[in-house]
Amino acid sequence: YGDASQKIDYVFKVVLIGDSAVGKSQILARFARNEFSLDSKATIGVEFQTRTLVIDHKSVKAQIWDTAGQERYRAVTSAYYRGAVGAMLVYDITKRLTFDHIPRWLEELRNHADKNIVIILIGNKSDLEDQRAVPIEDAKEFAQKEGLFFLETSALQATNVENAFMTVLTEIFNIVN
């Protein structure tokens, strides 16, 4: 997961947003450290974590920002969005309300972030299929209508987490190159 001595060609800031308890911090823990915790605390006290990876022979430092318990509507400040080139909009497939709140989060993004920001909609906790409350088709349709990438992930099982980040980072990379 990265070498401190390596030369960095790009730094991409990506923000995680979505309701509380959808799994944002665990998605980040999985991506940045390949870790997962079932009893994760609401706040980890760190603003962002980084991981350096290689895209098309260039080293890209992904700087991923996590909300530290600021998920209340409009509590995330504009500083959080400043300079972000990517966003991961996360809901929990077992909690319908977290999906119903996605349009609000999208509006927040469109009000505060750069208009060219690359956005992926993420339905997390795909391992809990027996508790599914959001049909995959509803999310696909919404993502298509709004021009967002879309994937279902499981931070617990490490399903599609890498894929979700690579989708966003590769798209950003292609835009700047």
Chain residues binding Mg ion by CB under 5 A are 24-25
Please identify which residue in 21, 53, 133, 166 interacts with ligand GDP, judged by CB under 6 A: 21
Residue 13 binds which of ligand GDP, Mg ion, none (CB < 5-8 A, kind-dependent): none
Tell me, residue by residue from 127 to 146, as one string, x for binding to ligand GDP by CB under 6 A and - for no binding.
xx------------------
Q: Which residue has the tokens 């509507």?
A: 73
Task: Specify the 3-state DSSP secondary structure of 162.
Answer: helix
For residue 31, what are its two tokens? 């991506």
Residue 21 binds which of Mg ion, ligand GDP, none (CB < 5-8 A, kind-dependent): ligand GDP
Residue 129 DSSP symbol: G
Tell me, residue by residue from 26 to 55, as one string, x for binding to ligand GDP by CB under 6 A and - for no binding.
x----------xxxx-x-------------
Q: How far apart are CA 10 and CA 15, in angstroms?
A: 16
Residues written for the chain: 177
Residue 167: other Cβ atoms inside 10 A: 19
CB-based contacts of 137: which residues, under 8 Å, 6+ apart? none
Please identify which residue in 13, 95, 112, 125 interacts with ligand GDP, judged by CB under 6 A: 125
Indicate whether 22 belongs to the interface with ligand GDP (CB under 6 A).
yes
Choice between 24 and 51, CB closer to Mg ion: 24
Indicate whether 20 belongs to the interface with ligand GDP (CB under 6 A).
yes
For residue 108, what are its two tokens? 């927040």
The secondary element (H helix, E strand) that includes residue 84 is none
Q: How far apart are CA 147 and CA 140, in angstroms?
A: 10
Please identify which residue in 52, 63, 98, 124 interacts with ligand GDP, judged by CB under 6 A: 124
Which chain residues interact with ligand GDP by CB under 6 A?
20-26, 37-40, 42, 124-125, 127-128, 154-156
